[in-house]
A and B are shown apart, each in its own frame.
Chain A
Amino acid sequence: MNHLLQAVGFGLVTSSIVALAAVAVSLQVSVTNFFNFAYGDFMSFGAYVAWTANNQGINFYLSVVLGGIAVGALGVLANYLVFRPFMKRGVRPVTLLIAGVGLSFVVQNALILIWTPAPRRFSLNLGNALHLGPFLLTPGDLIMIGAAATLLVLLHVMLAYTKFGKAIRATSNNIDLAQSCGIDSDRVISLTWFIAGLLTAVAGVGLVLQESTLSPTTGFTELFVIFGAVILGGIGRPYGAMLGALIVGVLTEVSGAYVNGAYKTSIAFGVVIALLLFRPQGLIKARGLIS
């Protein structure tokens, strides 16, 4: 039992990271209606920028913020240069996915060129693991969970209470009607990419801290776990994505406690696929995205 609870504890850490990324993806999908395949590489990029800044001596937390701004800007640029021209023309969703594949090639390999494949580490010593009740967590883990929770709460506040957040929800609910209300959907979409980028970078850094090294494929290998959480939670439903991330994260770690750890991601995927076969619209019904 102790073993199980410990695994749940680890699962919470994984969930925090996945939740940030999944919510960011869900938010972006809710206004633009397609998956950005280069997403994992955006995460890596954010982590690299943060690492570079930190390496230059800048405070860790400030470095993360810089990483966030960098990914936000990258997202806005990617939308403007790559995705928006396709969307204006009205193409099949598959085309956007493949365009994302192309973008992923570019970003991931640009990372190789700029930072080389040599693994990087954050020089950060946050102390050893502590026993907190049944859980075994490092201060770094706690900070991660805390940061994720804080950011998600802030996001919720923005979506639920601010004018701009409501504009995002309106745009994702009914883009034509939102335009009729005077909402500039292009601006809303751009800013959504930026906000999603901020969350992504934090998730990227968290991922690096959890795996302890950063390489150009770090984010990409996590991509399908994130997509799995998003699809499970209901595509385009940020709150659903949080739930999906929780399930995927805890499931991964718990299964790793009982079965050969190398299989834990596969088991998580397997469960996600099985769940989807029974409930293709996700846990919280996805909007109009089923064939």
Chain B
Amino acid sequence: MGVNDMAILRAEGITAGYDGPPVLDTVAAAAEPGQTTVILGPNGAGKSTLAKAIVGLLRIREGHVYLGDAEVTGLGPHKLVRRGLGYLPQLANVFDDMSVLENLEMGGYTLKGDLRHRIASVLELFPDLGVDKHKKAGTLSGGQQRMLALARLLMTEPVAAILDEPTAGLSPLYAQRVWDQIDRIRGTGVGLIVVEQNATLAMEHADSVCLLAQGRNVLSGKADELRERAEVARILVG
């Protein structure tokens, strides 16, 4: 897997971890504009760690992250959002004390001027949320909260985004809905890296797949090709 010139978001040679041996060992992943790359792997493979390393929540020991042409290695989420990289954390991804509308306003915090227009456009993609804009986010269901988190991310019209297990804990119905939204977002030209646990569903929507095991890349390629490969199943079970 060589350097992908067309990629809008690129991570190369990432070695990172906590104490002790590195959790990630020279891992690479990339996403092209308007394409979804899913990161899969068994438990403990380092998927979430990779997401955190890319957005700078974790110190990278070696390696680089590029957004477009610019190097963004180790910048935190608050700097990355201004550069056009969105991040959807796995947990606690809405402001539960604030309303739907206010959540979106916070998503657009770095934007200048009146946000109403932008909010209206975003809500067109998420009609369910627009029903009661003043509802407190904490009272929404898990699936709706996830939708809100996605909507919030879109407020700044990022060119790329990393989503950390966006369907975790959701019913199959909502998981599908979330993926439909992700497809729609992809359709607007955003390059997406999605870390996922549910491999089956993820591979149905992915353009590229990046399979990690024990902190290393073990298999990468186009989703169409890998969908039929038996070893994917074997690697995922561990």
**Interface residue ranges, A against B (CB under 8 Å):** 163, 166-167, 169-170, 173-174, 176-184
Q: How far is the CB of B76 from chain A (nearest CB, A)?
A: 7
**Alpha-carbon distance between A244 and B183 when the two chains are bound, in angstroms:** 49
Q: Chain B interface: which size bin?
A: 20 to 34
**Alpha-carbon distance between A163 and B98 when the two chains are bound, in angstroms:** 13
> A173 and B109 in contact (CB under 8 A), knowing A166-B102, A180-B87, A181-B81?
no
Provide a sorted-by-A list of 11 A–B residue pairs whose CB atoms are within 8 angstroms: A166-B102, A166-B105, A167-B106, A176-B89, A176-B92, A177-B94, A177-B95, A179-B76, A181-B81, A181-B109, A181-B110
In the complex, B132 has a CB within 8 A of chain A: no
B interface secondary structure, majority:
loop
B222 proximity list for chain A (CB < 8 A): none
Q: Across the interface, name the chain A residue whose C-beta is closest to B88.
A: A180
Q: Across the interface, name the chain B residue whose C-beta is closest to A182.
A: B110
Q: Across the interface, name the chain A residue whose C-beta is closest to B115.
A: A163
**Alpha-carbon distance between A147 and B199 when the two chains are bound, in angstroms:** 61
Contact in complex: B93, A177 (CB < 8 Å): yes
A interface secondary structure, majority:
helix
Contact in complex: B109, A163 (CB < 8 Å): yes
Q: Across the interface, name the chain B residue whose C-beta is closest to A172.
A: B97
A173 proximity list for chain B (CB < 8 A): 95-98
Q: How far is the CB of A287 from chain B (nearest CB, A)?
A: 8
Contact in complex: A183, B106 (CB < 8 Å): yes
**Alpha-carbon distance between A80 and B76 when the two chains are bound, in angstroms:** 22
> A177 and B105 in contact (CB under 8 A), knowing A166-B98, A169-B97?
no
**Alpha-carbon distance between A107 and B94 when the two chains are bound, in angstroms:** 40
B98 proximity list for chain A (CB < 8 A): 166, 169-170, 173
In the complex, B78 has a CB within 8 A of chain A: yes
**Alpha-carbon distance between A181 and B89 when the two chains are bound, in angstroms:** 12
Contact in complex: B106, A178 (CB < 8 Å): yes
In the complex, B77 has a CB within 8 A of chain A: yes
Contact in complex: B106, A181 (CB < 8 Å): yes
B110 proximity list for chain A (CB < 8 A): 181-182
In the complex, B107 has a CB within 8 A of chain A: yes
For window 67-92 of B, CB contacts with A under 8 Å fall at 76-78, 81-82, 87, 89, 92
A166 proximity list for chain B (CB < 8 A): 98, 102, 105-106
- Nearest first, the 10 closest Cβ-Cβ pairs linking A and B are A182-B110, A180-B77, A179-B78, A182-B81, A173-B97, A173-B95, A181-B109, A181-B106, A170-B106, A182-B109
**Alpha-carbon distance between A176 and B56 when the two chains are bound, in angstroms:** 12
Q: How far is the CB of A271 from chain B (nearest CB, A)?
A: 28
In the complex, B10 has a CB within 8 A of chain A: no
**Alpha-carbon distance between A177 and B89 when the two chains are bound, in angstroms:** 8
